[in-house]
Structures are given as C-alpha cells and as structure tokens.
C-alpha cells in the first residue's frame, strides 16, 4: 500500500509539473522591457504584447523572423509536453493503483518505471532549454544598450518550477523499489515454507 501511495504521489507531482510547463509555454512574459515609467513590452513564444495600463497582443507573424532562442525554446517545450502526455498514459497502465495488467506484475512495474523515466526526460528538457533561454537573454542584456534590452520574465520561473516538479514525480515513478512488490501467491508460498521447514535441520 505504501509503494502504491508513493507512485500516486509521483504521478500527481508529475501532472502538476506538466500543467506548469503547459502554462509557461503559452505565457506571454518570457522576456520583458520597460520604456519609461509605464510603457511595458512583453514577448512570449507565441505572441508579443505592449502598452501602458491596457496592453495589446499580437501573434508572431512568421517563424523565420523569430530569434533563435525563441524558435528552439518553442520546439523543445512542445516536445517536452508531448513526452509528458505519453508518460501520463504509460504510467496510468503501470501504476499499482490501476487494474491494467494485474496478472503481469513484473511487466506492470517495468511500464511504471518507463513512464517515470519519460517524465524525467521531459522535465530535464524543460529545465535545460529554459536555462539556455535565460543565458541568451542575459548575454544580450549585457551586450546591447540597457534601455533597449530585455530581461527574462515570470514565465521562466514557472517553466523551471514545472521542470523540477516533473523530474521529481518521474523519480518516484521510476523507482524500482516503489514499483516492484511480491505477488500474493509468492507471499503465501514464502509463509508456507517458513512454517513447514523449521524442523528440517533436526535429526
């Protein structure tokens, strides 16, 4: 029961990481720029917004005109979301609290471990590409004029948090000790042997 509880916790943590990753992918404030005291410009992976008290947003017209870091981050974040979505389906089949493949305990544990590894890979992709995006923004900030350069925004922190949650949940799911357990038949057989053989060494 404890092992299935750990699996369930890992699955829920991974789902929270996936939700944070999806939210970060579609957030506008990946990088921001302040002009004067009130005018702000935000740029995300899919659109850019600008304005004072009321902002107007526009989708990016073409992919070819986008900076390299935006194109790469967009592609890797979508890949991470896809891997997490597949991991959700795989983990659902392999978790002990579900009734899929109950007659194949070994295969079920292996499937749960594969789902956890997929979650971990997805979280690592999110964390790495976000860190690289931040590095590119910081590098541009120090090379360009500070009044014309961007700073990274809130979406970066949401993405980091989502990646860490996905890695943590995947680690729980991929834990072999959490996934493997003895079947009721083997437990009863071990108990039977322990009760029938205590006097086997006596003559």
Q: How confident is residue 103, by pLDDT bands cut at 50, 70 and 90?
A: low
Provide the pLDDT for residue 20.
Answer: 95
pTM of the model: 0.76
| pLDDT greater than 90 at residue 192 | no
Is residue 88 within 8 Å of 112, Cβ to Cβ? Answer: no
Tens digit of pLDDT for each residue in 25-84? 999 888 887 766 666 788 888 888 887 767 787 887 776 778 888 889 999 999 999 999
Domains and CATH numbers, the chain: 2-32+64-183 (1.20.140.150)
In this structure, the strands spanning 151-152 and 39-43 are unpaired
Q: How confident is residue 202, by pLDDT bands cut at 50, 70 and 90?
A: very low
| pLDDT greater than 60 at residue 177 | no
> What is the pLDDT of the chain when averaged over all its residues?
78
Look at residues 64, 52, 24 and name the one whose alpha carbon lies nearest to residue 155: 24
Lowest mean pLDDT among 91-105, 141-155, 181-195: 181-195
């Amino acid at each position: 029961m404890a092992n299935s509880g750990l699996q369930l916790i890992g699955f829920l943590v991974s789902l929270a990481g996936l939700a944070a990753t999806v939210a970060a992918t579609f957030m506008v404030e990946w990088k921001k720029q302040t002009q004067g005291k009130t005018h702000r410009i935000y740029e995300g992976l899919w659109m850019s917004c600008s304005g004072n008290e009321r902002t107007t947003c526009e989708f990016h017209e073409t992919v070819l005109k986008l900076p390299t870091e935006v194109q790469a981050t967009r592609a890797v974040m979508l890949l991470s979301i896809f891997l997490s979505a597949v991991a959700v389906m795989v983990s659902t089949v392999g978790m002990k609290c579900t009734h899929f493949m109950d007659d194949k305990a070994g295969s079920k544990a292996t499937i749960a471990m594969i789902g956890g590894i997929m979650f971990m890979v997805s979280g690592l992709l999110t964390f790495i590409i976000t860190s690289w995006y931040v590095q590119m923004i910081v590098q541009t900030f120090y090379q360009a004029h500070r009044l014309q350069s961007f700073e990274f925004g809130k979406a970066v922190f949401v993405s980091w948090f989502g990646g860490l949650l996905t890695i943590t949940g995947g680690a729980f799911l991929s834990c072999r000790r959490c996934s493997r357990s003895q079947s009721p038949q083997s437990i009863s057989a071990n108990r039977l042997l322990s009760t029938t053989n205590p006097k086997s060494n006596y003559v």
